Amino acid sequence: MRETPISADAPPIAADHFEGFRTIGRILKTAASHPELEIPVLICGNRRDIGGNRRFHAVLLASLLVATPLAATAQLRPSQPEPPSGWTEKRALVAKRHVVVAAHPLAAEAGFRMLEKGGSAVDAAIATQLVLGLVEPHASGLGGGAFLLAHDAKAKRTVAIDARETAPSGANPQLFLGADGKPMNFQAAVVGGRSVGVPGTPRLLEVAHARMGRLPWAALFQPAIELAEKGFPMSPRLHTLVGKDKTLAEQPATRAYFFGADGQPKPVGTLLRNPAYAQTLRAMAAKGADAFYTGEIAADIVAAVRNHANPGSMTLEDLAGYRVRDVEPLCGPYRAWRLCGMPPSSSGGIAVLQMLGMLEGHDLAAVRPGSAQAVHLLSEAGRLAFADRGRFVGDDRFVEVPVQGLVDKGYLAQRAKLIAPEKSMGKAQPGTPPGLKVALADDPVDEVAGTSHIAIVDAQGNAVSMTTTIEGFFGSKQMVRGFLLNNELTDFNFQPLEAGREVANAVAPGKRPRSSMAPFLVFDAKSGRLEQAVGSPGGSLIINYVAKALVATLDWKMDMQAALSLPNFGSRGGPTEVEAGTELEKVGAALKAMGHEVRAIDMTSGLAGIRRTAKGWEAAADPRREGVARGR
């Protein structure tokens, strides 16, 4: 039963207008959700961006004023993840002893140092995360949350910890509604304190270390403290994202840190020092996570949230009361393997298992990677998974989520019959999974991406697959004590009701917003031996990224680097999306002939993966970002 019911006094859903569209992606996302509307667009030229991908400019020919009520039209989000910043060819690393893959070389090096000292996979993950919060601040950090899968090789046991941010006790279903009862503009909701959830990452690191750490807690902080005090060079990707963010320079703390006196982003290679972050880390190293959740650091977080022009309601009690959740890994069969991911509050584990379960009846090994048939099959499975995701998945402490029904083998077999070999189904409808108890409304909301992934295997064969986030890149743009605060609450549906029914992902006090993060561990189904650790950043696109990587390694027998480098594609319930600037654009005509609406977009995955081979642990990082593997 729900712990916090939605108020019956919630304002009615009002009609809204398409106003202020700033990008063609946002227009197309709305069109995809509402095929009954015709949106005239004039294409007028193209260019190439820094990553070499084609881009199109579009001009809205006519202002659309519609009287039909639309689902969350004012909550339109960027339909793509973090912008691209180039492509770097990479080769897989084979390590015989231990290995770590992370989104920045300095972070991977910190984790590797812990492994070399005899540390566990969890020790290495903590050191890696603390450095990522410094060198990749736009993606994750102390001010955010994470999902952790950790495998104990000796005990043959896998644990899952949900450290998703929570809504403050003062949050209510009308949090993102204006005085007129309409949803706020998305960017207006993001910047400031209103969007900030109670962070979970610091508590996660402490709990994981207490259970699975080997090195002293304070030792894990040293690499990040040293880098914060001595400085690190601004990377090309960080420089690019600072330049692309339109609101970062408007916030005093981030303007002082990321921008020069001329108002321009600091140049690539600029030495960035962050003594405030070093002080925060020293406090946590000495006093544990309580140094973050209580005392002066907590007071500064609350002040930043409550005193902003766009304030939130977070209190000291909210911070002090935060707890991680121990949850059972969500596991399912796929051919000769057993795949384990996260249950709610993430939708990623369910959706990936659904997609692969629906495709198990197809001989994917006989399908050529990069072909129209490959894109067709995975995209159709994605449509069905996202339809169920939008209807049924939210924080399962607040809504009845039929988790086991959604991944039930019989249910998936029935859903798989909707996938025609040569014709797209168009818009998929939710199914009726076993165990369904509550009638909920469809939820059109997707999260944007400010996320990172860490994959580690230590010398004892223990493994970590952890996806970590602050939601949008640079989160809420609020910097406190050297770290950025998340904007995770904008992952909720801004409207508590759709078509008069409650949505699974409505705001409620203490609730965790739905996520798409999908860390996975793969095991041999017979022996139980660990075979892979994989995951990715990328907002709602994470589900398709991870499914692609798993199919590429398990069915197409690609090495890990080739699997991660493979062009991205899939459907989130709307158009079939293919990665712009890749050979997949060439199969667009074939897909259209099969009834697909095709859209080429940036798909800036940040996949990190490790797999067992006869020669050792084969580890790889996505060429679309700055990640590397370090091992021995």
Q: Is the pLDDT of residue 430 over 60?
A: yes
This model's pTM is above 0.85 = yes
Give the model's pLDDT for residue 498: 85
List, by residue number, the catalytic residues.
451
Q: Is the pLDDT of residue 11 over 50?
A: no
CB-CB neighbours of 219 under 10 Å: 17
Give the model's pLDDT for residue 81: 56
CB proximity list for 303: less than 8 A, separation 6 or greater:
none
CB proximity list for 109: less than 8 A, separation 6 or greater:
131, 223, 630
Measured between alpha carbons, how far is 184 from 430 in angstroms, rounded to an integer?
Answer: 27
Give the model's pLDDT for residue 499: 82
The SS3 call for residue 579 is strand
pLDDT band at 26 (very low <50, low <70, confident <90, very high): very low
Q: Mean pLDDT across the stretch 266-288? A: 98
Comparison of pLDDT for 335 and 80, the residue scoring more: 335
pLDDT band at 219 (very low <50, low <70, confident <90, very high): very high
pLDDT band at 447 (very low <50, low <70, confident <90, very high): low
> Phi and psi of 146, rounded to 5°?
-160, 160
Beta bridge partners of 502: 497
Give the model's pLDDT for residue 448: 67
* 510-552 confidence digits (pLDDT tens): 999 999 999 999 999 999 999 999 999 999 999 999 999 999 9
Measured between alpha carbons, how far is 568 from 604 in angstroms, rounded to an integer?
Answer: 9
DSSP codes joined into one string, 455-468: EEE-TTS-EEEEEE
Q: Is the pLDDT of residue 426 over 50?
A: yes
* 550-570 confidence digits (pLDDT tens): 999 999 999 999 999 999 999
Q: Are 472 and 462 in contact (CB under 8 A)?
A: no
pLDDT band at 71 (very low <50, low <70, confident <90, very high): very low
Q: Is the pLDDT of residue 274 over 80?
A: yes
Q: Are 159 and 445 in contact (CB under 8 A)?
A: no
Q: Is the pLDDT of residue 41 over 50?
A: no
pLDDT band at 439 (very low <50, low <70, confident <90, very high): confident
Q: Mean pLDDT across the stretch 207-224? A: 98
Both tokens of residue 374? 């490959």
Q: Mean pLDDT across the stretch 73-95? A: 74
Q: Mean pLDDT across the stretch 173-180? A: 94
